[in-house]
Amino acid sequence: MNDTTNQTTVQSSRSFARHLPTIARLLMGLGFFVFGLNGFLQFMPPPKTPMPEGAAAFAGAMMKTGYMFKLVAGTQLLVGVLLLLNRFVPLALVLIMPVLVNIIAFHIFLSPSASATAPGAILMALELYLAWAYRGYYRSVLVARAKPA
């Protein structure tokens, strides 16, 4: 290989790498847009196997509040739209983190199965990658002893 070929290979890998945050943002946005919309329109079929007892109790408790499922679905939908439109991305990532932590915890502790855990794990990986990619926007809120302006 000559220097020109090496240079072209390095440039093409760099040009692809610059698109990774956009790809991750769009994938995550699409996932949360679809899951959030499903919270209101219920177009996805429910699982064929019944939920374990603890998972069913948790879901039942959320339903009995009258607002919690809609709040979570609304948050997912809002975050999905923000990510898809590339608006307020650092804020969207902060808003969705508690939902993602709960999705992971739910599947680890209440409904463990590899197939059910996979979407949450993929979304969490995208979240962590994007949080790293946008890390500069979080520096001002990660001040140990902040003072009012």
Residue 149 lies in a domain: no
Is the confidence at residue 113, as pLDDT, over 90? no
Domain of 130 in residue numbering reads as 3-141
Say what the pLDDT of residue 5 is.
59
Could you tell me how many residues make up the chain? 149
Angle at 58 between CA 33 and CA 42, to 5 degrees: 35
More confident residue, 118 or 113: 118
Count of the separate structural domains present in the chain: 1
Q: What is the distance between the alpha carbons of residues 47 and 8, in angstroms, rounded to a whole number?
A: 48
- 12-41: per-residue pLDDT in tens? 667 888 999 999 999 999 999 999 999 999
Angle at 104 between CA 41 and CA 83, to 5 degrees: 55
> Tokens at residue 69, please?
């499922």
Say what the pLDDT of residue 2 is.
60
Q: What is the distance between the alpha carbons of residues 100 and 96, in angstroms, rounded to a whole number?
A: 6
Say what the pLDDT of residue 29 is.
98
Residue 53 lies in a domain: yes
CA distances from residue 25 to 8, 38, 99, 115 in whole angstroms, order as listed: 27, 20, 17, 23
Q: Is 38 helix (H, G, I), strand (E, B) or coil?
A: helix
Residue 20 lies in a domain: yes
Ranges 7-11, 25-29, 126-130: which has the least confidence: 7-11
Q: Is residue 110 within 8 Å of residue 58, measured between CB atoms?
A: yes
Q: What is the distance between the alpha carbons of residues 63 and 101, in angstroms, rounded to a whole number?
A: 19
Residue 15 lies in a domain: yes
Residue 130 lies in a domain: yes
Residue 54 lies in a domain: yes
- 41-98: per-residue pLDDT in tens? 999 998 888 889 999 999 999 999 999 999 999 999 999 999 999 999 999 999 999 9
Say what the pLDDT of residue 77 is.
98
Residue 116 lies in a domain: yes
Residue 148 lies in a domain: no
